[in-house]
Structures are given as structure tokens and as C-alpha cells.
A and B are shown apart, each in its own frame.
Chain A
Amino acid sequence: MNIINFTPVAATIGGMIIGLAVVMFFLFNGRLIGISGIAANALSEKNNRFDNLLFLIGLVIGPILYTLFTNKEINITISNSLILLIIAGLLVGIGTRISGGCTSGHGISGLGRFSLRSIIATITFMIVGILTVLIKNYI
């Protein structure tokens, strides 16, 4: 194991900003943030649809505002294989709805309220994620 590109300060500050969004949504609106649930329900549930859509719009505006105010470009590196991305997207969409949460819903909101269900979900998707990268990169 080699440790590379380690940026703990930016990661912690970014995490705290995410935590602030979670607290705000809970204190004012009484809901816990889980992006897979918000996105899926925005599509198919009448209940809270407008709130869910506004949240998703905010999620997209956030990076744009960041670039406008800091003048920093956001660079991402993503796979060029559309087939791989379609399979990955399907797995993420199907998996998060069957298990009722993703990195935010189980990993932050669920862990934060000490839900055993979410702790087990988070450990499971972390282990399978690590194994998937291991298989993809080294086998």
C-alpha cells in the first residue's frame, strides 16, 4: 500500500460543509438528506416533489457558484467507457433503492444517528467497492 494525493484538510472542511447542509435540512425541514432517495422520489413521488427538485437543482448550482466565486476550475477525471458507466449507473441506481440509501443517506445521515442498519449498509458498500477496485485494477 502506498498513500498518495492525501488531502485531509480540504476533505474535512468539505465534509463539514456537507454536514452543515444535513443539519440545516433537518432543523428547518425535518428531513435527513439521502441523495438517492431525494432523486428517486423527485421522479416518482408527488409528496415533497417540489422540495426534492429544488434540492437537486441546488446540488447542480453549488459547483457553478463555487467556480464563480473562487475563480477555480473544477477538474474531474472519469472513465471514458460509456458501457462501463451505464453498467455502473444501473448498479448504483438499483442498489441504492433496494438498500434504501447511498453514501449520504446511510453513510452520513444514518451513521450520524447511530442506525445499525445504516452502519451495516455502509460497511457492505465500502467492502464491495474496495473489492471491485481491487478486481478491476489488479486481476
Chain B
Amino acid sequence: MNKLISLLAGIIFGIGLVVSEMINPEKVLSFLDVFGNWDPSLAFVMIGALIVSSPMFHLIKNNKKPLFTDSFNYSKNKDINNRLIIGSSLFGAGWGLGGLCPGPAISSIALLNINSITFVVAMFVGFYLVKFFKLSS
């Protein structure tokens, strides 16, 4: 059953990216263009997601265990260090250049757009480089 949930969660997440238009890099770049022609919509994507997920997270985490697996498994990392700031800065620069972050980039493979597929391949090379040089958080 947990396999079905993994697939379904991916599908629902992907549909959310389409409905919110976060899948469109142009929309993301207008969101980041605060000092020019600003489209604040994507702030509402975050607000919508948090309204639903945050209260439920705080309720569910008190459960003894998840319904379909043996234990809760999420990062308890609290470190605030250079890596966090440097990594987030590199990510922000890449996000601002292309208008794509990992979720929308992978979802947009569905559109068979060669430009977004190029981005995804480069992103996976980036993942691999960090793994290879053992830099991951």
C-alpha cells in the first residue's frame, strides 16, 4: 500500500504544480522579479500548501507510527551552518537564472520540452557531483 501512496502523492503533487502554474518558469521568474513586473502569485502557493500541511503535520507527528510503514522518517537536522547558506545561495542563483526548481522541472518532463529536460539532466549531474565529493547535508 505504501508504494501506491508514493505514486499517488507524486501524482497529486504534480497536479498541484500545474494548477498553481508553478510548473511554468516564466511565472516563477515573474514572482522573483520583485523590483520590476512582479507577479506575487507563487507566495500563495506556499501559503496554500502550508495552511493544509502545517496543522496536519503537528497532529500526525503525535501518532505512534505512520499507517503503512513502521516508523516516521524525516530529517531532524537542526544545523545552521555555512553549508546551509552556501547551498541555499547556489540554489537561489540557479532558480533565478532558469525559473525552475526540482519539482516543477521533473514534472515538466511530461511536456517533452527539450529545454526543461536539459535542465533536469544538468540538475542530476549536480546531485551526483555533490554525492561524489561527499558534500551533502
Contact = CB atoms under 8 A, between A and B. Distances in A.
Interface of A: 1-8, 10-33, 35-36, 39-40, 43-44, 50-52, 54-66, 74-80, 82, 84-104, 106-109, 111-117, 120-122, 124-134, 136-138
Main secondary structure of the interface of A (DSSP, over half): helix
A136 B96 contact: yes
Contacts, number: 518
Interface residues of B, number: 120
Contacts of B92: 95, 124-129, 131-132
A107 to B, nearest CB: 6
Given A16-B49, A62-B14, A89 B78 contact: no
Interface in B84-137: 84-103, 105-111, 113, 115-116, 118-131, 135-137
Nearest to B66: A30
A60 B14 contact: yes
Contact of B102 (A31, A52, A58, A96): A96
A117 to B, nearest CB: 6
Contact of A27 (B66, B93, B109): B66
Contact of A89 (B118, B130, B136): B118
A137 B38 contact: no
B23 A28 contact: no
15 contacts: A18-B16, A19-B16, A19-B50, A25-B9, A26-B74, A55-B9, A59-B14, A61-B10, A62-B12, A62-B110, A89-B120, A91-B94, A112-B53, A133-B36, A136-B96
A33 B9 contact: yes
B91 A109 contact: no
Q: 8 tightest CB-CB pairs across the interface, nearest first? A: A93-B126, A62-B14, A58-B10, A14-B20, A15-B48, A89-B122, A132-B96, A99-B87
A63 B23 contact: yes
A124 B89 contact: yes
Nearest to A123: B88
